[in-house]
Structure 1
Amino acid sequence: MSAIRTGAGWPAGDAGPPTHSTFEVGRSRHGQVALEADELAEEVPVALEYNGISHAVMLASPADLEDFALGFSLSEGLVAGPRDVYEIDTEAGCDGITVRLRIAAEAFALFKERRRAMTGRTGCGLCGTESLQEVMRVPAPVASSASFGGAALYAAFAQLQTRQELLRHTGSTHAAAWLRADGQVGLVREDVGRHNALDKLIGALARGGEDRARGAVLVTSRASYEMVLKTASAGVGLLAAVSGPTALAVRLAQQTGVTLAGFVRAGRHVVYTHPQRLQDRTEQA
């Protein structure tokens, strides 16, 4: 990923827009109301431009936007791989943030063919999609050698809880995390939108050169169709969620070879597809 040049459009010495802000609120406890300070997650319009053409406007947390832009481009099939993305630049404006990507000529030609107007909203992954064929695309089956026991999965989610900094401040964000083959959580990305958090993680994986064939994606949300689609598109063989999946997500996971686990709690989980990557040797149920 050294070919990608990234640059932030913030003033020198500025870390960028804040991810959360403080408000005065009236907090009621047992009928007593007190004025207190509360921290709320920021969500801002993020416009994605490809070679000067505006493609999508998403509402997202204003952090890790280079990861988000790359991950979105990969998971949506707008580019075939990270080598197709030459530059990513971000610029803050009065109305939001613009992320400009410069992509390879071949990728740009394909991009123009399938260009569509999209407006993303918090928690929505399919807004603006024009055809059923675009929604129901099926990635190639994953080739993954990932293997984890249940205990490793529970420990990983415990690790994830300690690393959700934005959630600790606001209580209103999702996270997507990368579980390495050694059982350690290597990357965590947060956002007000679960799809955005996963796109940020996918972008970070691509930029960091992680071995996606041996790890797993953890998400603090339900496992919807779009979450499985993005996981499979990234070539990851195991998706584990704290909530349940949809029926469509299970069917897609079955088709693409993704091991899908839901309702992951300390000491228990449910495996819906391809259980060979998630074998709990301590229980012989």
Structure 2
Amino acid sequence: MENGSINGIHERGNENKDLTNSYTVTRVDRDAVTRVDVEVCVEESVNIILNGARVASLTITPSNLKEFVYGYLICEGLIRSIDRIESVEINWPDIFVKVPEFDKDDPGLWMEIRSSGCVGVRSSWMSLEGPVKSDISLSKDMIFHSIELINDLAVLWKTTGGTHCTIIFDKMGSLISYAEDMGRHNTIDKAVGKALLDGRDLSGCFMVCTGRMPAGMVAKAYRAGIPVIISNTAPFTTGIELARKLNMTLICFARPPRMQIYSVPERIKDIGTIRENVP
């Protein structure tokens, strides 16, 4: 059992699980056919039990579970501060969390299927208000450098090709936290949980992800207080509309030397004059 204490909160659990399994496969490469051993990501399921009520069941890479649950509760809007958490106990596959005076009547009624097939809390993202107020300003070079770091930090992805990655940087481009997981939503929860447990203020930070950007992903960054989210792949309409509504900067298809800025381009300080109707 793993024991720890943060701000008087005691956690215990067991994360001694393999993250990959080895399989012997038949590889075909042009005219060559060989038998090789490959590593494949482990897929597990966990349940989050909040004050005795199951609020989520998710598929997950079985690592950083404590950080995950802290980040999940923040990013899904179930709590506003990790200081609200009284205790966390991991008894695989259940994660038990106690929060005093939790004001939701029946969390189990709001579970929904997300765009990636995972289950989250029904939401609340449609009712999010209060545009982000941030003076963060980023350069193109900083953005492209941060994207390139994913290839260095995503160790599981390099081994298996089966994970997503999220990295959080401060406004100077220094790394704050990062996480890998089979689920893109989970990577945000884990990275946010790590940063918050480290006492970081995320309002002056930006986030880089490998996943597509629907509203659920943008909402997670917003609830964590992060004003800029960057992806090397595509957005969805809901993600764009929510980012614009909340004054967040959403950048997708960020692959040096190109990127597409879907909202609030003013935070990128060296892109020059924007011309209209350029194909």
Same fold (TM over 0.5): yes
2:273 pairs with 1:273 = no
CA distance in 1, matches of 2:215, 2:53: 28
2:242 pairs with 1:242 = no
2:183 pairs with 1:193 = yes
Amino acid at match of 2:158: R
Q: What 5-or-longer segments of structure 1 have no aligned partner? A: none
Change (3 A) 1:269 1:80: same
Q: Which of 198, 206, 211 pairs up with 2:201?
A: 211
Q: Secondary structure at the match of 1:203?
A: helix
Q: What 5-or-longer segments of structure 2 have no aligned partner? A: 1-5, 275-279
2:52 pairs with 1:52 = yes
2:99 pairs with 1:103 = yes
Partner of 1:118: 111
2:62 pairs with 1:65 = no
CA distance in 2, matches of 1:6, 1:159: 31
Per-residue CA deviations over 1:101-143 (Å, capped at 9, x if unaligned) read: 1112x22xx13344426376892356674xxx64523243222
Partner of 1:2: 7
Q: Which segment is superposed worse, 219-228 or 114-123?
A: 114-123
The answer to whether the 8 Å contact 1:154/1:267 transfers is: yes
Change (3 A) 1:29 1:121: farther
Per-residue CA deviations over 1:175-196 (Å, capped at 9, x if unaligned) read: 1110112212221111101011
Q: Percent identity?
A: 23
CA distance in 1, matches of 2:142, 2:260: 15
Change (3 A) 1:121 1:33: farther
CA distance in 2, matches of 1:36, 1:121: 35
The answer to whether the 8 Å contact 1:144/1:235 transfers is: no
Deviation at 1:225, TM superposition (A): 1.2
Q: Secondary structure at the match of 2:73?
A: helix
2:210 pairs with 1:220 = yes
The answer to whether the 8 Å contact 1:179/1:215 transfers is: yes
Partner of 1:75: 75
Change (3 A) 1:236 1:7: same
The answer to whether the 8 Å contact 2:72/2:193 transfers is: yes
Change (3 A) 1:43 1:54: same
Change (3 A) 1:100 1:246: same
Per-residue CA deviations over 1:235-260 (Å, capped at 9, x if unaligned) read: 11100110121122111101111111
The answer to whether the 8 Å contact 1:241/1:261 transfers is: yes
Deviation at 1:275, TM superposition (A): 1.5
The answer to whether the 8 Å contact 2:56/2:120 transfers is: no
The answer to whether the 8 Å contact 1:156/1:184 transfers is: no
Amino acid at match of 1:5: H
Cα RMSD over matched residues? Answer: 2.1
Q: Which of 242, 246, 249 pairs up with 1:252?
A: 242
| Aligned residue-pair number | 269
CA distance in 1, matches of 2:252, 2:184: 15
The answer to whether the 8 Å contact 1:160/1:185 transfers is: no
Partner of 2:144: 154
Per-residue CA deviations over 1:208-233 (Å, capped at 9, x if unaligned) read: 22221211010012211111111111
The answer to whether the 8 Å contact 2:76/2:121 transfers is: no
Amino acid at match of 1:257: N
Change (3 A) 1:26 1:122: farther
Q: Secondary structure at the match of 1:136?
A: helix
Amino acid at match of 1:39: E
Q: Which of 220, 229, 233 pairs up with 2:223?
A: 233
Amino acid at match of 1:73: L
CA distance in 1, matches of 2:109, 2:77: 13
Change (3 A) 1:90 1:139: farther
Q: Which segment is superposed worse, 180-189 or 234-243?
A: 180-189
TM-score normalised by the chain length of structure 1: 0.87
CA distance in 2, matches of 1:136, 1:185: 31
Deviation at 1:71, TM superposition (A): 1.4
Q: Secondary structure at the match of 1:7?
A: strand
Partner of 2:277: none
Change (3 A) 1:201 1:217: same
The answer to whether the 8 Å contact 1:141/1:232 transfers is: no
